[in-house]
């Protein structure tokens, strides 16, 4: 038995060693030499067959758009017993392939809980970055279908990580495809037309929902059941769909306070393929600062607090200071749906600025994964805001 165990270990070590060194790399290099496009390299199968049309990659994570109900056409809350895949959604709409070529890349999780897994979403983001932003890319844009509950999280994450000018459009539906007024077909078509449009370039990640064009940086789900669920926390809509074609209001621009992270750097963090653990705590009268210490003891590298009003914390400041001294990073946003959590004169933690807490959590994850300490994180969240209001702050090193 011991010999056998050792033998197995030796084989495993050999395999690990050889994978870490030449053969895998060699294989990749030969494969690269022979192929000419990212589509070929990534094995994408283009549907449609008219090679003059724009190529739009469909990153399919499922969501309500792929869900159906056994409880009839009126049910829009108890669905999920039936499902359709990306190819089936495309097949429902004969207009799609007259305007674009589409290739489906499957990112559904085994349990169909779309977007609730940082590792899966990061893997998809790396894939999208490779497919769209590599030198050999032959793809014009991408859409990602998503469960609406966390659509804004993935949109914001991708917006901070994939920035080569090509459009990426998040979409979903609020009603299952068995419903008498399924919103998924129109949202899907709109998103594809948006991703295929040259007008969509250099605007960051977009979201197409209920005939609105929204910014992936600002978008949030404001209604839990209505098909008109998605709005912006600032800046308003970027445009609308008329006859399912995108009509923009303004020329391309990006949010002033957006920080672009390096996906390669983020991916060297020890939590790869996932991201550092950051928890959100919601402040209210009687807020218990011990929750912050508990989060750290439970493995969190960072905590975002949904503060009151302009980023207030009703109680618990001693515990927050203790947690900061222990190395926990803290960002305080606001539980108000609109408006900032603006910088303090002398910071000890970061105020989230215009990022609401769901976005602040993701930006803090990326900051920690990029190796930023608390002072750099403060500068990341507050720097441009401070400049605007004439309250610069430079940490003493």
CB neighbour list of residue 302: distance below 8 Å, 6 or more residues apart: 276, 277, 278, 279, 328, 329, 330, 331, 361, 364, 365, 368
Smallest separation, CB 247 to ligand NAG (Å): 21
Instruction: Pick one of 1, 2, 3, 110: the residue that binds ligand NAG (CB under 6 A).
Output: 110
Rounded to whole angstroms, the maximal C-alpha distance in the chain is 72
**Residues 243, 251, 270, 397: which binds ligand NAG (CB under 6 A)?**
397
To ligand NAG, the closest distance from the beta carbon of 168 in angstroms equals 19
Q: How far is the CB of 252 from ligand NAG (least distance, A)?
A: 24
Which residues within the stretch 223-282 sit at the binding site for ligand NAG (CB under 6 A)? 273
The set of residues, in sequence order, having a beta carbon less than 8 Å from that of 141 and lying 6+ positions away, is 54, 56, 57, 132, 166, 167, 168, 169, 194, 195, 196, 197, 200
**322: three-class secondary structure by DSSP:** helix
- Tell me if 45 contacts ligand NAG by CB under 6 A: no
**Residues 6+ away with beta carbon under 8 Å from 74:** 179, 180
State the binding string over 17-36 for ligand NAG (x if CB under 6 A, else -).
-------------xx--x--
Select from 92-100, 166-174, 234-242, 330-338 the region that touches ligand NAG (CB under 6 A): 92-100
Here's the x/- map for ligand NAG, 53-72, by CB under 6 A: it reads as x-------------------
With contacts defined by CB under 6 A, name the span among 93-101, 147-155, 176-184, 198-206 that binds ligand NAG: 93-101
Helix (H) / strand (E) element for 32: namely helix 22-34
Reduced 3-state DSSP string for 282-318: ECCCCCCCHHHHHHHHCCCCEEEEEEECCCECCCCHH
395 binds ligand NAG (CB under 6 A): yes
> Which of 48-56, 127-135, 319-327, 379-387 is the region at the interface with ligand NAG (rule: CB under 6 A)?
48-56
Q: Which is nearer to ligand NAG, 34 or 251 (CB)?
A: 34
The verdict on whether 64 is a catalytic residue reads yes
119 by DSSP, 3-state: which?
A: helix
Tell me the pairing of strands 239-242 and 212-215. Answer: antiparallel
Residues in contact with ligand NAG by the rule CB under 6 A: 30-31, 34, 50, 52-53, 85, 94-95, 98, 106, 108, 110, 117, 119-120, 123, 273, 373, 375, 395-397
> Which residues are part of the catalytic machinery?
64
């Amino acid at each position: 038995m011991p010999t056998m165990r050792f033998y197995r270990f030796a084989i495993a070590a050999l395999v690990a060693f050889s994978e870490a060194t030449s053969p895998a790399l060699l294989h990749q290099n030969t494969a690269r030499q022979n192929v000419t496009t990212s589509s070929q390299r990534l094995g994408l199968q283009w549907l449609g067959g008219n090679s003059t049309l724009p190529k739009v990659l469909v990153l399919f994570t499922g969501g309500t758009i792929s869900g159906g109900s056994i409880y009839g056409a009126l049910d829009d809350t108890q669905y999920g017993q039936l499902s359709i895949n990306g190819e089936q959604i495309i097949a429902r709409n004969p207009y799609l392939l007259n305007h674009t070529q589409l290739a489906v890349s499957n990112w559904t999780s085994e349990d169909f809980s779309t977007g609730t897994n940082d590792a899966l979403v990061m893997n998809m983001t790396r894939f999208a970055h490779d497919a769209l932003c590599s030198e050999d890319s032959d793809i014009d844009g991408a859409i990602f279908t998503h469960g609406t509950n966390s659509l804004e999280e993935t949109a914001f994450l991708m917006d901070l990580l994939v920035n080569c000018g090509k459009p990426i459009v998040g979409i979903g539906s609020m009603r299952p495809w068995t419903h008498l007024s399924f919103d998924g077909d129109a949202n899907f078509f709109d998103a594809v037309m948006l991703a295929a449009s040259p007008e969509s370039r250099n605007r960051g990640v977009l979201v197409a929902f209920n005939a609105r064009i929204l910014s992936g940086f600002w978008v949030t789900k404001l209604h839990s059941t209505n098909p008109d669920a998605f709005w912006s926390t600032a800046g308003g809509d970027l445009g609308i769909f008329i006859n399912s074609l995108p009509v923009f209001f303004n020329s391309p621009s990006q949010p002033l306070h957006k920080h672009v992270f390096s996906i390669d750097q983020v991916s060297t963090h020890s939590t790869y393929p996932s991201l550092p653990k950051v928890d959100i705590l919601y402040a209210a009268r009687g807020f218990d600062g011990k929750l912050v210490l508990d989060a750290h003891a439970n493995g969190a590298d960072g905590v975002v607090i949904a503060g009151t009003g302009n980023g207030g914390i009703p109680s618990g400041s001693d515990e927050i200071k203790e947690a900061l001294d222990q190395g926990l990073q803290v960002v305080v946003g606001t539980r108000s749906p609109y408006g900032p959590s603006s910088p303090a004169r002398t910071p000890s933690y970061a105020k989230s600025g215009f990022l609401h807490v769901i976005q602040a959590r993701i930006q803090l994850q990326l900051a920690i994964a990029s190796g930023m300490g608390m002072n750099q994180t403060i500068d990341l969240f507050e720097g441009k805001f401070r400049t605007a209001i004439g309250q610069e702050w430079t940490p003493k090193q």
